[in-house]
A and B are shown apart, each in its own frame.
Chain A
Amino acid sequence: MFKTSKIFFSLLVLVVLVWQVPACYNFFMAKSVDTPFTLYSSIAGEFATLQADEDKKMQYRDASGREYTEEQFDSILPTFYYRQLVTDGRFPDSIHGIAVTPRQVQVSNFNMRISPLDLNKPRLGIQQMLESMSGRVDLELPDDAFRITPEGMKFVKMETNAIDHEKSARFTQMMKQKGFQFPAANISGNPTDRKEYDEGYVMLDAAGKLFHVKQTVGRPYVRAIALPEGMTPKHLFITEFPSRKWLCFLTDTEGHLWVVERESYDVRCTEIPPFIPEEQSMLIIGNMFDWTVKVNRGTSECYYAISAQDYTLIDSMSYQTPSHTLPGLSFTSTKDKFVKPRIVR
């Protein structure tokens, strides 16, 4: 017994050392990797960057090294700095020969962040479905919540904690009628009343088929979305952007980003090189002409410019972001919300 306890004690000391020594080193020696704020400028036809120099003075440049003044920089990124241009009376009547108004720019602009932290976390398994056609300007939270079981959709009245059998049967029946196989393999929605409109949920059923499910005037709206041949969806991200152009973004098992257009339900692949959503974060800053897509790939930060019309790749660049962390044992990670022992390199 003494021998066993001595071995266990030594093991604990080792675990604590392998956990705490790298953690302390990384805490004290951590250096922030300062990459410039980068956006694609369709006016300049290349990426434009903004970074503070050693004297904290802002440097405005493009990828070719040309320098700009602050005002010139606003002008080469008119959709990003439209408010400044409107204030200065410099907002253009047209961009690339297309007449634009500040309101159009405001509505078509969007930001989308896909973070491993949002994917790798415990799921509650119960959520709310808003009424997407209430006839009121403001959205209201419903008085029930739903779960998806192998038998179907179950709505629970929150006040009484009792199943609403009639509503549950209505939704389950409609979903089965449209070919939905229970339970759902994945589900994405944004059940908040702090948005302009509601598109309910996009769901992957047990057979890997994609569906759009929402509640309109208390009734279920279920639509099967045809997927391109050979494409296997993995992660879903409902968008609900003010422009109402897309229903959702999704990634497939190979790491490609796809978009589902809202009106036509067309599923189209973007030319962003594959990424791993469970490990790499993606930020999309989009406007009516192009998207700047930033993918954090660990040791590099990659930027891609994508056409907002046909999702083709226009340009790309990257910054090296070498890591100076000491490998060791960790119980938490910046890539998930779980506590478990793992080796961090």
Chain B
Amino acid sequence: MIKAIFYKEWIKTRWYLLLALLVSLGFSAYAMLRISRVCSLKGAEHMWVVMMQRDAIFVELLQYVPLILGLVFAIVQFVPEMHHRSFKLTLHLPMRATSALASMLSFGMSMMVLVCAPALLLMWAYLQSVLAPELYWHILLSAMPWYLAGMAAYLLTAWVALEPTWGRRVLNLVLGVLLLRIYFLAPAPEAYNDFLPLLAIITLCYSILSVLSLTRFRDGRQD
């Protein structure tokens, strides 16, 4: 049954996932291209010096990309189903409603990893050819909260989208926006290093919020 749900979600979102993968890879490739241009025009030394002296990380344009990808992905996956009330059919499948929801969210999170991981791998592969490990890890670790924000955006948007009433939806939205702000408070590169493991656990915990929306939906709450 879980396989069937994964297949249903895949059919629903496959074109968006292809687009998301292209956007994610495209932005990373563009950021690397900019670094490559700086290296060819001013030399790799210039890159190193600017990173060491001015705290530059050269990938700032990627900051909101995972966030937007996660947010749109949850909309693509859940909003049409909620709008057409077809989510009810999923709940009538011969499995527990929470298991059905968990399968949908697991599919989503796996796809988010598949969309984001190639971008990070691309950066890692290119950067280690021109930078010392201290410098490329400096860039990758600084970017890590943005990718966690993408996961959080997906889970929080799913929670908002599954909520059946507008009043509660707005409340969830406000709370979600404030929670997403936590991922964008860095006053300097690598500012999240100590907090990253806990932030990753908290991000995964956002998945259980959707159970609240599911229960309210099942109870027949509506405007």
Interface residues of A (CB under 8 A from B): 1-2, 4-6, 8-9, 12-13, 16, 19-20, 121-122, 124-128, 141, 143, 145, 147, 156, 158-159, 161, 191-192, 331-332, 337-341
Chain B neighbourhood of A9, CB < 8 A? 209, 212
Asked if residues B187 and A339 are in contact (CB atoms below 8 Å), the reply is yes
Q: Given A122-B188, A156-B132, A338 and B195 touching (CB < 8 A)? A: yes
How many angstroms from the CA of A53 to the CA of B98 in the assembled complex?
67
Residue of B nearest to A11 (CB): B205
- In the assembled complex, the CB of A281 is this many whole angstroms from the nearest CB of chain B, namely 16
Residue of A nearest to B194 (CB): A340
Q: Given A128-B49, A145-B52, A159-B43, A5 and B178 touching (CB < 8 A)? A: no
Q: Given A6-B212, A16-B179, A339-B187, A1 and B98 touching (CB < 8 A)? A: yes
Q: Given A16-B175, A16-B179, A127-B52, A159 and B44 touching (CB < 8 A)? A: yes
Q: Tally B residues with Cβ within 8 Å of A.
A: 39
Asked if residues B212 and A12 are in contact (CB atoms below 8 Å), the reply is no
Query: Would you give 10 A-B contacts (Cβ < 8 Å), ordered by A?
Result: A4-B211, A16-B178, A124-B135, A141-B49, A143-B45, A158-B49, A331-B185, A332-B187, A337-B191, A338-B191
User: Which one of B44, B131, B208 has the greatest number of beta carbons of chain A within 10 Å?
Assistant: B208
Asked if residues B53 and A191 are in contact (CB atoms below 8 Å), the reply is yes
Asked if residues B190 and A12 are in contact (CB atoms below 8 Å), the reply is no
Q: Given A147-B132, A161-B129, A338-B194, A122 and B189 touching (CB < 8 A)? A: yes
Chain B neighbourhood of A337, CB < 8 A? 187-188, 191
Which residues of B, 34-77, contact A by the 8 Å Cβ criterion? 43-45, 48-49, 51-53
Chain B neighbourhood of A122, CB < 8 A? 188-191, 193
Q: Is B78 engaged at the interface, CB distance under 8 Å to the other chain?
A: no
- In the assembled complex, the CB of B199 is this many whole angstroms from the nearest CB of chain A, namely 9
Asked if residues B175 and A5 are in contact (CB atoms below 8 Å), the reply is no
Asked if residues A339 and B185 are in contact (CB atoms below 8 Å), the reply is yes
How many angstroms from the CA of A124 to the CA of B131 in the assembled complex?
13
Asked if residues A159 and B45 are in contact (CB atoms below 8 Å), the reply is yes
Tell me the dominant secondary structure on chain B's binding face. Answer: helix
Asked if residues B188 and A192 are in contact (CB atoms below 8 Å), the reply is no
Chain A neighbourhood of B52, CB < 8 A? 124, 126-128, 145, 191
Interface residues of B (CB under 8 A from A): 43-45, 48-49, 51-53, 98, 129-132, 134-135, 138, 145, 175, 178-179, 182, 185-195, 205, 208-212, 215
Chain A neighbourhood of B43, CB < 8 A? 159
How many angstroms from the CA of A340 to the CA of B188 in the assembled complex?
13
Q: Given A332-B185, A340-B194, A158 and B175 touching (CB < 8 A)? A: no
How many angstroms from the CA of A8 to the CA of B129 in the assembled complex?
44
Asked if residues A147 and B185 are in contact (CB atoms below 8 Å), the reply is no
Chain B neighbourhood of A192, CB < 8 A? 53
Residue of A nearest to B43 (CB): A159
How many angstroms from the CA of A124 to the CA of B52 in the assembled complex?
7
Asked if residues B215 and A2 are in contact (CB atoms below 8 Å), the reply is yes
- In the assembled complex, the CB of A201 is this many whole angstroms from the nearest CB of chain B, namely 14
Closest 3 CB pairs of A and B: A122-B190, A337-B188, A5-B211
Q: Given A339-B186, A339-B192, A126 and B135 touching (CB < 8 A)? A: yes
Chain B neighbourhood of A340, CB < 8 A? 192, 194-195
Asked if residues A4 and B208 are in contact (CB atoms below 8 Å), the reply is yes
Chain B neighbourhood of A339, CB < 8 A? 145, 182, 185-187, 191-192, 195
Chain B neighbourhood of A128, CB < 8 A? 49, 52
Asked if residues B138 and A124 are in contact (CB atoms below 8 Å), the reply is yes
Asked if residues B205 and A8 are in contact (CB atoms below 8 Å), the reply is yes
Chain B neighbourhood of A5, CB < 8 A? 208-212
Chain B neighbourhood of A8, CB < 8 A? 205, 208-209
Given pairs A158-B44, A161-B130, 14 additional interface contacts (CB within 8 A): A5-B209, A8-B208, A8-B209, A12-B209, A16-B179, A122-B191, A126-B132, A126-B135, A128-B52, A141-B49, A191-B52, A192-B53, A338-B194, A339-B192
Chain B neighbourhood of A341, CB < 8 A? 195
Asked if residues B134 and A147 are in contact (CB atoms below 8 Å), the reply is yes
Residue of A nearest to B46 (CB): A158
Asked if residues A13 and B175 are in contact (CB atoms below 8 Å), the reply is yes
